[in-house]
Structure 1
Amino acid sequence: MCSPLSRRGFLAAGSGLAAAAAIPAVSGCSSLASADSDPGTLVVHTQLGTTAPGSATYTAVVKEFHRENPGLRVKNLVNGDDLAQVYETSRLARKEPDVVMVNLYDKTLAWTDVGATVDVRDHLDDWGLRERVLPAALAEWTDGKGRLRAFPYFAANWPVAYNTALLERAGVDSVPTTGDQLIGAARKLRAKGIAPVTVGGNDWTGQKLLAQIIQTFLTPQEARGVYSTGDFSGRGAREGIDYFVALRDAGVFADKAQGLTSDTMTTQYNTEAAAVQSAMSSALAKVPPKTAGHTEVGGWPLAPGAAHDKPTILRSFTLIGFWISPNGVKKLPAVETFVRFMYRPEVVSRFITESGRDMALVTDTVSKEFPLVAKAQQLGGRVGQALLPDLYVPPAATQPLITATSTAFTRGTSAASVRSALESAYRTA
């Protein structure tokens, strides 16, 4: 198994001797991406081509791109969750693809800073694309030094989905908006043999929901401090952990949530084995029509004294962007042609209408074939917004935090132990 590449590894690879030493160490990894030096071939490394929503649309628009640009070929390299690892390996070997389509999370947070990808701010302006991007997306993709890491593309709303038919079957006549109501609903659902809140307590979905619940008593500014430093000792963070533990031990989450994954979560909700899930828009797009027909989207219920005045959701504009590599700089005219094509309003609309994707770009298109995605887009002021911690968690702490998340979802684990696990994720990273 290939070991993760560190920030130090990227920096060391900047010198010829270090690079020469580094390449044999990673050459055993399979799927080493290989750039094509042909100026008429643009090598794009993407997750669209797997089961990711939008893959079929991407394949179709690339075919259209080829028809319009007969002298320019897009060669796609497809990876799933291991894309960042594969890209880093290819970059150390100086064989990286020209464009990378991936989210801003974990390893990728460091790419621009260490020269693995380039600042695209000037290109955004030179190519006349700034007005196409939502200001919030530009803010999230811009680092602390004012560099735009990539061209924003996919976004995500992350509300809570409630199966109103299951709630009614259990005798719950309205979507819960407070913790007490959620606990009461969970008891009634369990009495009918229905799992209350399903969650991937053993992966990133559980990590995000845990972070959202902990923020019940934190302002966004306070949450940034907590997740940047890993210090959960403040009053608001401790109260949030206490609230999470109270919900967990009251049976709000599905049985053995600490071992569930995002796939288990979506399966339980889509088959109506569970009544509630915290679901980003790509998951909402997969809810079957029957279940979607009696699903209401809203926010996570609050506790008395919360820092928010409305149930919360998460939003992100960093789901997929177009990153330019150092090799891509050598093919800048081809990269410009490709990105400008992908930014066209009609292309953007296809991802919304055909795949139910939320976009980080300006558009009036609504997901009519994906009603829950559309409902999430229209929540507006009916919900508050918690901070998505991805941009603030140090990359080395990301995976340890998921391990800590599984500990947190294990019933009976004390609030003090949950806090210790979360803080240890930063110390051991």
Structure 2
Amino acid sequence: MHSPLTRRGFLAAGSGLAAATALPALSGCSLVAAADSDPHTLVVHSQLGTTSPGSPTYLAGLDRFRKENPGLKVKNLINGDDLAQVYETSRLARKEPDVVMVNLYDKTLAWTDVGATVDVKGYLDDWGLRDRVRPEALAAWTDAKGRLRAFPYFATNWPIAYNRALLDRAGVDAIPTTGDELIAAARKLRAKGIAPVTVGGNDWTGQKLLAQIIQTFLTEDEARHVYSTGDFGSRGAREGIEYFATLRDAGVFADKAQGLTSDLMTTQFNTESAAMESAMSSALAKVPEKVVRHTEVGGWPLADGAVHDKPTILRTYTLIGFWISPNGAKKIDAVEKFLRFMYRRDTVSRFIQESGRDMALRSDTVSTDFPLVAAAQKLGSDVSQVLLPDVYVPPAATQPLITATSTSFTRGTSAAKVRAALETAYRSA
């Protein structure tokens, strides 16, 4: 796989990022300011700080950290989906922040390999923090060469949310567990003017649900091969695509799903315009209380001949981690104080209690104020877990897969054309 983050890739990325995009994204701070060389100033670059779930808890945590460490200043830089692009630009100038809080996905997959961030395994062990991390999270954040890319932090469960009140109104007696039951439920819901399954068919939410459905007939090893190579020609992959196309053309998904986004999906479910959605923990935490009262979580219904014996969910431990940059390695004492604080049990508990976040760290705290998140955490033998493909998809194929996803959710697109669109997304990888 050709990495887009080689020196040449970095330069190409930097030249393509207009100042109008990069500089305002740093909330008025220049890249020079972002790279404060003062050893008593820690620069943290995060997606938390605006409307992202957990932002109030994070900002309050920074205030507590500053009070506990009066001799250490903390600059907090905030970006949304363009964080990786902005970080790469700052790294090219050798003025990158010290710590980066972002998920393992797309561009970030190559960061440690090309020296944009450092292997943190030694720090984790030297600071005695390994036992705080769930083993599954350590495995997910470790690359093929044994390097730990970042300190794991946020995780997520990704079940299907079912609005029982809407299902009851349509005469659907039980949550569907098979494809036939799902199709029958969709027909009854549509007869009542209710959208069945809402999904962001034009963004990452649709991509994840599509991948989940395709894996109906794939073992974990087979799924890993499919999403690493883009080879959707195996019998299991073809059967999964055919299952998806059957559900789509039977009207299971909301109208014009190929044009919906994650925000529109969430709005449809939360306003009770749709009866079902594929909802990660952060979405479950936003469901209004009046809807929560008659919502249940479970897995995606299976087809006959599935390799799984229970409806499926997604789960990942790579949602947000703390990456250390080469600049951060020069201020490692300050970074250690910050990481120890963020790993403290009381800090972790606040994210669970106040924000409904799932964590990649060990904790006995339960999201009592976020009952759907707590219910998803408790899903055990009633569901089967399938592979989240993020860490296996080559970075160059990530965005093309979103385009292929929109094509896939367009009703009438044949299974063969869906397969071709998915495989085409890998040709530049």
The TM-score range, normalised by the shorter chain, is over 0.9
1:382 corresponds to: 382
C-alpha distance in 1 between matches for 2:406 and 2:128: 45
C-alpha distance in 1 between matches for 2:98 and 2:394: 26
1:420 corresponds to: 420
DSSP-derived class of the 1:380 partner: coil
Tell me by how many angstroms 1:8 deviates. Answer: 5.2
Match of 2:22 among 26, 30, 38: 30
2:277 corresponds to: 277
> Does 1:232 find its partner at 2:232?
yes
1:128 corresponds to: 128
Tell me by how many angstroms 1:22 deviates. Answer: 8.8
2:399 corresponds to: 399
Q: 1:190 to 1:26 in 2, by over 3 A?
A: closer
1:253 corresponds to: 253
Aligned AA (1:383): V
**Are the aligned partners of 1:199 and 1:253 in contact in 2 as well (CA < 8 Å)?**
yes
Structure 2 matches for 1:5-404, cutoff 5 A? Answer: 7=3, 10-12=6-8, 28=19, 30-31=22-23, 33=31, 34-404=34-404
C-alpha distance in 1 between matches for 2:358 and 2:300: 20
C-alpha distance in 2 between matches for 1:23 and 1:205: 28
DSSP-derived class of the 2:425 partner: helix
Q: 1:221 to 1:74 in 2, by over 3 A?
A: same
Q: 1:8 to 1:219 in 2, by over 3 A?
A: closer
Tell me by how many angstroms 1:381 deviates. Answer: 1.2
Aligned AA (1:427): R
Uncovered stretches (5+) of structure 1, i.e. residues with no partner: 1-5
Tell me by how many angstroms 1:11 deviates. Answer: 3.1
C-alpha distance in 2 between matches for 1:13 and 1:207: 25
**Are the aligned partners of 1:349 and 1:365 in contact in 2 as well (CA < 8 Å)?**
yes
C-alpha distance in 1 between matches for 2:113 and 2:353: 36
Tell me by how many angstroms 1:51 deviates. Answer: 1.0
Tell me by how many angstroms 1:7 deviates. Answer: 3.5
**Are the aligned partners of 1:13 and 1:92 in contact in 2 as well (CA < 8 Å)?**
no
Tell me by how many angstroms 1:74 deviates. Answer: 1.2
Q: 1:197 to 1:114 in 2, by over 3 A?
A: same
**Are the aligned partners of 1:10 and 1:116 in contact in 2 as well (CA < 8 Å)?**
no
C-alpha distance in 2 between matches for 1:95 and 1:149: 20
Aligned AA (1:89): T
Deviations 1:14-42 (A, max 9, x none): 9xxxx7x9977767453253211111110
DSSP-derived class of the 1:76 partner: strand
Aligned AA (1:98): D
Aligned AA (1:55): S
Q: How many residues align?
A: 419
- TM-score normalized with structure 2 length: 0.95
Aligned AA (2:252): V
1:3 corresponds to: none
Deviations 1:333-378 (A, max 9, x none): 0000000000000000000000000000000000000000000000
Q: 1:171 to 1:222 in 2, by over 3 A?
A: same
C-alpha distance in 2 between matches for 1:237 and 1:189: 29
DSSP-derived class of the 2:275 partner: strand
Tell me by how many angstroms 1:13 deviates. Answer: 8.3
**Are the aligned partners of 2:177 and 2:302 in contact in 1 as well (CA < 8 Å)?**
yes
Aligned AA (2:296): E
Tell me by how many angstroms 1:251 deviates. Answer: 0.2
C-alpha distance in 2 between matches for 1:334 and 1:280: 33
**Are the aligned partners of 2:14 and 2:88 in contact in 1 as well (CA < 8 Å)?**
no
DSSP-derived class of the 2:186 partner: helix
Aligned AA (2:264): T
C-alpha distance in 2 between matches for 1:26 and 1:83: 12
Tell me by how many angstroms 1:380 deviates. Answer: 1.1
Q: 1:409 to 1:51 in 2, by over 3 A?
A: same
DSSP-derived class of the 1:81 partner: coil
Tell me by how many angstroms 1:94 deviates. Answer: 0.5
Q: 1:162 to 1:427 in 2, by over 3 A?
A: same
**Are the aligned partners of 2:163 and 2:296 in contact in 1 as well (CA < 8 Å)?**
yes
DSSP-derived class of the 1:171 partner: coil
**Are the aligned partners of 2:4 and 2:107 in contact in 1 as well (CA < 8 Å)?**
no
Q: 1:410 to 1:22 in 2, by over 3 A?
A: closer
C-alpha distance in 2 between matches for 1:25 and 1:407: 27
**Alpha carbon RMSD of aligned pairs, Å?**
1.5
DSSP-derived class of the 2:426 partner: helix
DSSP-derived class of the 1:426 partner: coil
Q: 1:393 to 1:22 in 2, by over 3 A?
A: closer
C-alpha distance in 1 between matches for 2:58 and 2:50: 11
C-alpha distance in 1 between matches for 2:410 and 2:91: 39
- TM-score normalized with structure 1 length: 0.95
Deviations 1:94-151 (A, max 9, x none): 1100000000000000000000000000000000000000000000000000000000
Deviations 1:172-214 (A, max 9, x none): 0110000000000000000000000000000000000000000
Q: 1:12 to 1:428 in 2, by over 3 A?
A: closer
Deviations 1:366-415 (A, max 9, x none): 00000000000001111000100001000000000000000000000000
**Are the aligned partners of 1:160 and 1:313 in contact in 2 as well (CA < 8 Å)?**
yes
Report sequence identity in percent: 77
Tell me by how many angstroms 1:428 deviates. Answer: 3.5
**Are the aligned partners of 1:22 and 1:92 in contact in 2 as well (CA < 8 Å)?**
no
Tell me by how many angstroms 1:9 deviates. Answer: 5.2
